[in-house]
Amino acid sequence: MKKIYTFLLLTSSLFSFAQVGPTIEGTYLPVRGSSIREVWENTYNNTLAIPDSGENKVWNYYGQFSNSPDTFQIKTFHPDSSMFGRNYHQYFPTATHASFLRSPLNNLTDSLFSYFIIDADGLHMLGGFNIKTPTADNAAFDTTIIITPSEYMSAPSFKFQDVKYDTTHYVTYGKFGNTPIKIKGTQYKKMTGYSYGRLIMPDSTVYDNVLLAKQAVHAYDSIFPPGFTTPFTIDSSNHYIDYNFCRNNTFGSAYLMYIHVNYQNTLSSFGWYTLPIDYGYISGTVYDSLINPHKVTHGEAFLYREHSNFSKNDILDKSPIDTSGNYRFDSIPYGEYRVSVRPDLSFYPNALTTYFGDTTNGNDAASISTLHPTFFVTNHDSPENNIHLQYHTDSVGYGTITGSLDLNLGFGIAGSPNVGNGIRSNPIPGIDVIVKKKPGGIVKREVKTGLGGLFTLSDLSDGHYDLFVDIPGLFMDSTYEFTISGGTLVNCLDFTSGKDSIHPTCNGTVNLHDQFKNNDLLDVFPNPYSSYTTIKMNITEPCNVLLEVYNLLGEKIQTIEKCPKQPGIYSYNFNAKSLSYSSGIYFVKLSTGNKTSVLKIIEQ
């Protein structure tokens, strides 16, 4: 693959950096099921050299990992999954990914289930659940770690000499020995693009174009006994430096090596370096139909991560379709993916972008798994993923529609115009815009957004239509319904791609058709919000309704509705400040009969 994913670990952070040296991309975050191996070095006699700063450096760590207490595989998985018989997703209902880390340090990272969100901004850590191995002075340490607001762990890219400051707050509930405790902590972090050059790994592998990222951390912990509001211990001495060696296009992780150093930058305590996991491939054949098929010989196949939750065209790799109708993606790490085919329209008129599973909607596509039932794997091959092209029907008429697609991470707000020249911000090119007939849902036309994020569809016959945007991993918040009659021109059908869904930006010329997410139960808009947000619930049958709002600690702050409801759409305004709560992250929970839906909301 031309670009392979960045695997982010608990002990690491990605961030934004400036112009010289390599650019480390943070857009290729883990697919569920991806994994890497870490070789640890646990030393307290400064055997690991502390790297220096500058340009075009050479760091030689060959043979330095002489005291390796553990080699461990870290795996990313679905947050609902149970690992080693345990699951803690109920503490982190908004998580999109989870992982399990065991370290040889006998501290809070000893056996940690971590839960995080991957969206258009990168990776955000929500917290985790630690299972402590009992020791002579520690009878048990079964600990929940909640980070609020979520810790920002990665950005789209970082470069040499860039600096980013970040503050992280966390609350830990657990036991020390048999004594229940609560720890409230804060980390102040300064992250810098410190150096770049060549890295010689402990196993003698040599990598060029390596960026060294330095993170200085000041940590403050206050420990509270049960039932007390005054801490009995304040530890303000936990200050340290993290060094991260990073490189693009390696074996499923941008992280090559990590070293933990005291804050005086004089003694190294521990570190790890990564080993590659075996690769496999994904392949298949493309046919022009299901009945009496012929092999498609002109076009491209595209590889997407499963559950990407990214706002732009999250294409990991491209493969030409050869003269035998075959496509193939090599060097695929362990994980879950989706594949689409874009046929050459000069050879296959009316053909649509078609995903494996023979659908034109990326979110309905079947996933392709290179998973293996065992935790350590040796074979990730997935052949015979055949695709049969889908087509739109002829549409001859005089109707025309126009619109645009922009990226805006403010969730649902159109890209800000440049007042001086009228140019919109952050257009997204190369995205499929699809028109379906109503009723029936038959695809009538498809077009891709141009370089400026604009699209135009002409020759539409009279009738009623639905318009939506197809970005795999992002769901439509709602679609446009419009009618063509006598050569209608419908313009400004604009869309905005947010962090976790796509939003029409209605200008009043057409109707919006709500497509409720999360089992068609619940929607919240705008989100984030500053004054108030509107919570909508879609009740499809008579039932008892319970609509509640919780904070990050799982404490209920308001019951909005609790009564029987008839089918219909119900709307409620919400604002945490009106309840004497601060801005931050909250969760809206809707329970209707045997269905439950939870959405995260952010009050600014």
Q: Are residues 198 and 117 in the same domain?
A: yes
Quick one: pLDDT at residue 517? 40
Q: Span 486-504, mean pLDDT? A: 76
CA distances (Å), 96 to each of 119, 309, 310, 382, 473, in order? 9, 8, 12, 24, 11
Q: Are residues 205 and 139 in the same domain?
A: yes
Q: Span 164-177, mean pLDDT? A: 79
Task: Tell me: pLDDT of 12 over 60.
Answer: no
User: Is 63 contained in some domain?
Assistant: yes
User: Is 16 contained in some domain?
Assistant: no
Instruction: Look at residues 365, 388, 411 and tell me which one is the last residue of a structural domain.
Output: 388
Q: Are residues 224 and 296 in the same domain?
A: no
User: Is 363 contained in some domain?
Assistant: yes
**Which residues have CB under 8 Å from 421's CB, separation 6+?**
none
State how far the Cα of 32 lies from the Cα of 336, in Å rounded to an integer: 6
- Cβ 31 vs Cβ 5: under 8 Å: yes
DSSP readout, 5-63?
A: PPPP-TT-------SSSPPEE-S-PPPTT-EEEEEEEE-SS--SPPPPPEEEEEEE-TT
Nearest in space to 261 (alpha carbons), one of 217, 309, 221: 217
**Which residues have CB under 8 Å from 493's CB, separation 6+?**
401, 402, 403, 467, 480, 482, 504, 510
State how far the Cα of 369 lies from the Cα of 77, in Å rounded to an integer: 12
CATH number of the domain bearing residue 380: 2.60.40.10
Q: Are residues 105 and 211 in the same domain?
A: yes
Quick one: pLDDT at residue 59? 96
Task: Tell me: pLDDT of 77 over 90.
Answer: no
Q: Are residues 122 and 263 in the same domain?
A: yes
Q: Are residues 122 and 264 in the same domain?
A: yes
Run of H or E including 302: strand 299-305
State how far the Cα of 300 lies from the Cα of 5, in Å rounded to an integer: 21
State how far the Cα of 510 lies from the Cα of 183, in Å rounded to an integer: 53
Task: Tell me: pLDDT of 343 over 60.
Answer: yes
Least confident of 69-78, 347-356, 374-383, 420-429: 420-429
DSSP 265: S
Q: Are residues 214 and 149 in the same domain?
A: yes
Q: Are residues 317 and 380 in the same domain?
A: yes
Task: Tell me: pLDDT of 173 over 70.
Answer: yes
Task: Tell me: pLDDT of 582 over 90.
Answer: no
Q: Span 210-238, mean pLDDT? A: 76
* Beta-carbon count within 10 A of 293 CB: 15
Q: Are residues 295 and 172 in the same domain?
A: no
Q: Are residues 493 and 344 in the same domain?
A: no
Give 513-557 pLDDT, tens digit per residue: 544 444 457 778 777 787 778 888 888 788 888 888 887 666 788
Quick one: pLDDT at residue 110? 65
At residue 305, φ and ψ (nearest 5 deg) are -75, 145
Task: Tell me: pLDDT of 509 over 70.
Answer: no
Task: Tell me: pLDDT of 575 over 50.
Answer: yes
Give 114-155 pLDDT, tens digit per residue: 898 876 666 788 988 877 655 544 444 567 788 877 887 766
Q: Which amino acid is at 258?
A: Y
| DSSP strands (E only) in 44-162 | 54-60, 71-77, 97-102, 111-119, 122-131, 142-152, 157-158
User: Is 5 contained in some domain?
Assistant: no
Instruction: Look at residues 388, 408, 431 and tell me which one is the last residue of a structural domain.
Output: 388
Note if the bond before 333 is cis, omega within 30 degrees.
no
Question: Where is mean pLDDT largest: 37-46, 330-339, 422-431?
Answer: 330-339
Quick one: pLDDT at residue 191? 87
Instruction: Look at residues 275, 307, 330 and tell me which one is the last residue of a structural domain.
Output: 275
State how far the Cα of 544 lies from the Cα of 485, in Å rounded to an integer: 43
* Confidence tier at 1 by pLDDT (50, 70, 90): very low
- Cβ 189 vs Cβ 168: under 8 Å: yes
Count of domains observed in the chain: 4
* Between 543 and 72, residue with greater pLDDT: 543
User: Is 47 contained in some domain?
Assistant: yes
Q: Are residues 119 and 40 in the same domain?
A: yes
Quick one: pLDDT at residue 60? 95
Q: Span 298-314, mean pLDDT? A: 72
* Confidence tier at 3 by pLDDT (50, 70, 90): very low
User: Is 92 contained in some domain?
Assistant: yes
User: Is 17 contained in some domain?
Assistant: no
Task: Tell me: pLDDT of 387 over 60.
Answer: yes
State how far the Cα of 185 lies from the Cα of 148, in Å rounded to an integer: 11
- Cβ 549 vs Cβ 523: under 8 Å: no
C-alpha R_g of the chain: 26
DSSP 418: -
State how far the Cα of 153 lies from the Cα of 11, in Å rounded to an integer: 10
CA distances (Å), 354 to each of 348, 350, 388, 584, 587, in order? 12, 12, 7, 41, 36
* Between 442 and 492, residue with greater pLDDT: 442
- Residue 158's domain comprises 24-275
DSSP 515: -
State how far the Cα of 602 lies from the Cα of 526, in Å rounded to an integer: 9
Quick one: pLDDT at residue 11? 29
State how far the Cα of 574 lies from the Cα of 327, in Å rounded to an integer: 50
CA dihedral 247, 251, 255, 260 (to 10 degrees): -130
Whether the full predicted model's pTM is greater than 0.75, yes or no, is no
* Beta-carbon count within 10 A of 440 CB: 8
Task: Tell me: pLDDT of 406 over 90.
Answer: no
Q: Span 256-273, mean pLDDT? A: 90
Strands 432-438 and 463-470, sheet pairing: antiparallel
State how far the Cα of 419 lies from the Cα of 311, in Å rounded to an integer: 25
Mean pLDDT of the chain: 77
Q: Are residues 472 and 529 in the same domain?
A: no
Dihedral (CA of 146, 147, 149, 154) sign: negative
User: Is 346 contained in some domain?
Assistant: yes
Task: Tell me: pLDDT of 302 over 80.
Answer: yes
Quick one: pLDDT at residue 226? 65
- Cβ 427 vs Cβ 408: under 8 Å: no
CA distances (Å), 80 to each of 19, 32, 90, in order? 40, 12, 9
Quick one: pLDDT at residue 441? 82
Task: Tell me: pLDDT of 430 over 80.
Answer: yes
Give 13-37 pLDDT, tens digit per residue: 333 333 468 877 654 456 677 777 7
Task: Tell me: pLDDT of 585 over 70.
Answer: yes
Run of H or E including 433: strand 432-438
